[in-house]
Chains A and B, each alone.
Chain A
Amino acid sequence: MDEPILRTVNLKKSFHLGQTIYAVNDVNLVVDRGEFIVLMGPSGSGKSTLLGLLGGLDRPQSGDVILDGQRYSQLSESGLARIRRNKVGFVFQFFNLIAHFTALENVMLPMRFGGMSKKAMTERARELLVQVGLGQRQDHKPLELSGGEQQRVAIARALANQPAIVLADEPTGNLDSKTSSEIGEIFHRLNVERGQTFVVVSHDPSITRWAHRVVEMLDGRITRVYDGGMAREG
């Protein structure tokens, strides 16, 4: 059996707000290659904090994250930056695109940090934009794109460096239901066709139909894990 692409070991993260609050409390999560996992739970349950820890955006108080065999606890800040650049793709609720750059340039940006040649970057960015259905909009700036289109650009950007895993934080939280459904379908297609691994934080139950597993959290702990729509169909 393949090694899991991502694993957490007794992961803990707390904040001091008058008292110590555990946003992530002793979480052990295993994500297999090609798996589509949806993290659900009420606001404040620790979903986004866990996502930040999984992506190396933040460091835990204790425990560890192991991504593709690399333990975060053994990495320096620049080592974590390399992990984020090469192995993790991020999609955010508010897209977080650079307003002054075109869609193509936004997708190229992570590849620039990787030192890829301009020609290779341009070709790959174009290819990714075609894959998310924006082949004709690549020279438009974010403000000239709809919310759904902006999120597609963000998805293309997340895939730029062929990451081992894509982490999405409420990717449909800022979109209408139709557009949300389209984004979900893009995730699903990438998951099926490319075998791309996804961990998606969402409040939207409809996205679970594309998931293999659904992980529910409450007060920083995993309270329930159950099969998503793809698992049931599979």
Chain B
Amino acid sequence: MDLIRLGRNEIKRNWTRTGVALAATALAAWMLVVSHMIPRGYPWGVGQAERAFIGGDLVVLPLSSRVESRNGANLTVKPWEGRDWQSHALYYFHRLSQEGYISEGSLGWRAFDPREVMDLIKDVPGVTRVEPYVSLPCLVGSVQAILRARDALDAESFPLSMARFIVEGEYPGPAAGSGMEALFPNFGGLEYNLVGSSVPVRVPRLVVNPAPSSKDPARLVGGAFGLGLDWDNGASVVLEVSGKYRVNTNQVLEPDATALPEFPAPGEEARFWDRPEVFVTKETFQEILAQTQAAVDLNQLPTYELLISVDRMSEAKAIASGIQEKLGEGFQVCPVPELKKLQVSGSALRFQGLDAGGLLQVQGFMLSGVIVAGSSYIMLVQQKRKIGLLRVIGATGKDVVVYVLTIVGYVAAAGAAIGFLAAKVLSLWSLLASEITAAEWIKLTFIDFISVFGMSLGISLALGTAVGLWAARVPSAEVLKRE
């Protein structure tokens, strides 16, 4: 149609203004695409050992307030009542054992019935698996360790697999006959237990009492329990070493990893990696629990921690927020820390996702839309005579709006295409440098394409419509004005 051609010609004729509008749109498109190259949340990466060892992407802890406040002087410090075997809380709040935790009137560190909490969490979008952390303290000979119930995950799939950290033997399979297998640490004084050997292990009897640690336990999700250990009436079992695992702390956790608040301070050792956990299957754990004649079975066992897997690590923060909202005060949801390295010119850079990334992207397109529509408006103010002429020779208001939207649409689409292509060329580098597959890259490209052109055209055309409506009201008598 001629009006479209006319619009295209106007774009070429007003090249300076068109150039500014193109640049703004291209920049917005570029920002959107490039922002997707920056890892958001806690993506798969070098720290898979942490998640493999913990067994989840997110951890839910029954802590009602943070202990890492810089304003510690105002906090009421309580004695630390928890124990290492109870959860990974010390990993996230590593000063807990020295400084206790806060605060007066808070719910405190407590065990809880996982079933009610799991019911609340399972419907949160993005959650694929919720599992309680089940453990008991134990003595392997005279060495203190933690007996942990955890089945081999389906297919031992990356990244939660322990397989890559097993230095010898294999993960315990289902119990056969009376034999009970366990995966032993190859550190923490337990190195001497050889694969295939039988190791005597002493497990205490777990005493479970509804022990409200808050003033109003009825308000607590999952209730509150007091857990006691009766070593005198525990059980001695013999575990067969099916395999040994070892984690090289320095391989994963670097001193400057303190960029995340949950990480240990520089120079401090991460306690997590010192936890000697002896892994047995749930079936074996249940059997041991029965031998201690504890009054609970595995399904009723109160826990101090839930382990959650999510379908997309890039959404981990959002999912964590969703879970936190469901659980309310009294729990803390912590994404398992993991940083991603990107090599740029030989130096390692770390990226943190922008929580406001989406908002910034929309704002970028809003700004570019304003510039596109604004430059079109200026263009049209100088063309009132031409618009008047179009009206004189029969163009309706609708025709004029189409004319304006042609100008705006072409600039927005061209700008989006330039920015999109430029960023995508750049992102080829991220394809080579990251773990992303070609299929995922293509999928992301498609999503970027829809996002870029959708936002660019949508916002620009919406604003351009306002300009078009203005232009449609330009009186046709403008054409009679003498130059």
Contacts and interface: CB of A to CB of B under 8 A. Distances in A.
Interface of A: 48, 51-52, 55-58, 77-78, 81-82, 84-86, 90, 92-94, 96, 98, 100-101, 105, 108-110, 112-114, 157, 161, 169
Contacts of B394: 81-82, 84-86, 110, 113-114, 161
20 contacts: A51-B480, A52-B480, A57-B476, A57-B477, A58-B476, A78-B396, A84-B392, A84-B476, A85-B394, A92-B479, A96-B479, A98-B6, A98-B389, A100-B5, A101-B6, A108-B2, A109-B393, A110-B393, A157-B393, A161-B394
B51 interface: no
Residue in A56, A86, A112 with the greatest tally of chain B CB atoms within 10 Å: A112
Given A113-B396, A113-B399, A81 B479 contact: no
A78 B401 CA distance: 14
Contacts of B2: 101, 105, 108-109, 112
B218 to A, nearest CB: 70
B122 to A, nearest CB: 59
Given A100-B6, A100-B9, A84 B393 contact: yes
A133 B319 CA distance: 76
B395 interface: yes
A151 to B, nearest CB: 15
A90 B395 CA distance: 14
Contacts of B1: 112
Contacts of B399: 113
Contacts of B104: none
Nearest to A83: B394
Given A57-B475, A81-B397, 13 more contacts: A51-B480, A56-B476, A57-B391, A57-B479, A81-B395, A85-B393, A85-B394, A90-B479, A93-B482, A100-B13, A101-B5, A108-B2, A161-B394
Q: Which 7 A-B residue pairs are closest in the complex by CB-CB distance?
A: A85-B394, A113-B394, A100-B9, A110-B393, A57-B477, A58-B477, A57-B476
Q: Which of B396, B397, B479, B480 has the most CB of A within 10 A?
A: B480
Contacts of A92: 479-480
B154 interface: no
Nearest to B10: A100
Nearest to B8: A100
Interface in B356-394: 385-386, 388-389, 391-394
Interface in B69-112: none
Contacts of A109: 2, 393
A33 to B, nearest CB: 22
B483 interface: yes
A136 to B, nearest CB: 23
A155 B391 CA distance: 17
A144 B475 CA distance: 30
A48 B393 contact: no
Contacts of B388: 57
A205 B6 CA distance: 38
A213 B392 CA distance: 26
Contacts of A90: 392-393, 479
A56 to B, nearest CB: 8
Contacts of A108: 2
Given A94-B483, A98-B6, A58 B393 contact: no
A85 B397 CA distance: 13
A216 B475 CA distance: 27
B317 to A, nearest CB: 52
Contact of B480 (A57, A84, A110): A57
Interface in B464-483: 475-477, 479-480, 482-483
Contacts of A169: 480
A55 B396 CA distance: 15
A85 B476 CA distance: 12
A61 to B, nearest CB: 14
A86 B394 CA distance: 8
Contacts of A94: 483
A92 B482 CA distance: 10
Contacts of B396: 78, 81, 113
A82 to B, nearest CB: 8
Nearest to B1: A112
A94 B482 CA distance: 8
Nearest to B399: A113
B403 to A, nearest CB: 11
Interface string B419-452: 0000000000000000000000000000000000
Given A92-B480, A94-B483, A113 B395 contact: yes
A100 B397 CA distance: 22
A8 B391 CA distance: 22
B156 to A, nearest CB: 68
Contacts of B13: 100
Nearest to B476: A57
B393 A78 contact: no
From B386, B389, B394, B397, name the one whose CB has the most chain A CB atoms within 10 angstroms: B394
Contacts of A113: 393-396, 399
Contacts of B483: 94
B71 to A, nearest CB: 66
Nearest to A80: B476
Nearest to A169: B480
Nearest to B398: A78
Contacts of A81: 391, 394-397
A125 to B, nearest CB: 12
Given A52-B480, A98-B6, A77 B392 contact: no
A108 B394 CA distance: 12
Given A55-B392, A113-B393, A96 B475 contact: no
A51 B480 CA distance: 9
A151 B480 CA distance: 15
